[in-house]
Amino acid sequence: MSLTQEKKQELISQYQVHETDTGSAQVQVAMLTERINRLSKHLQANKKDHSSRRGLLKMIGQRKRLLSYIQKGDRDRYKTLIRSLGIRG
């Protein structure tokens, strides 16, 4: 379920704040969203994989905390991020 190096680089270049940014909250949310989407597809096929389901719930909680942090700092940046990732309705 991990991301390939090429996919990570693509996400970093798309969501980075400045040219040397590799770990800002936006980049972390984008990577978590990609991992969550992949793991959700895995769990649809493997319904009894409870350990992966627990990992999915932990990732969703982490993404929720990061999105809350972004929303407190800059609401416009938060809105554009969730719109570009297609999350939260």
Neighbouring CB atoms inside 10 A of 5's CB total: 8
Q: Exposure of 63 by Cβ count < 10 A (0-12 exposed, 13-18 middle, 19+ buried)? A: buried
Q: What is the pLDDT of residue 16?
A: 93
Give all domains of the chain, ordered by start, each with its CATH number: 5-85 (1.10.287.10)
Type of residue found at 80? T
Average pLDDT value for the chain: 94
Q: What is the pTM of this model?
A: 0.92
Exposure string of 24-49, with b = 16+ CB inside 10 Å and e = fewer, is: bbbbbbbbbbbbbeebeeebeeeeee
Could you tell me which of 40, 74, 34 has the C-alpha nearest to residue 57? 40
The 10s digit of each residue's pLDDT in 64-80 is 999 999 999 999 999 99
The residue whose two tokens read 């400045």 is 18
Q: What is the pLDDT of residue 1?
A: 61
Whole-number Å distance between alpha carbons of 15 and 88? 18
The 10s digit of each residue's pLDDT in 44-54 is 999 999 999 99
Percent of the chain surpassing pLDDT 90: 93
Q: What is the pLDDT of residue 72?
A: 97
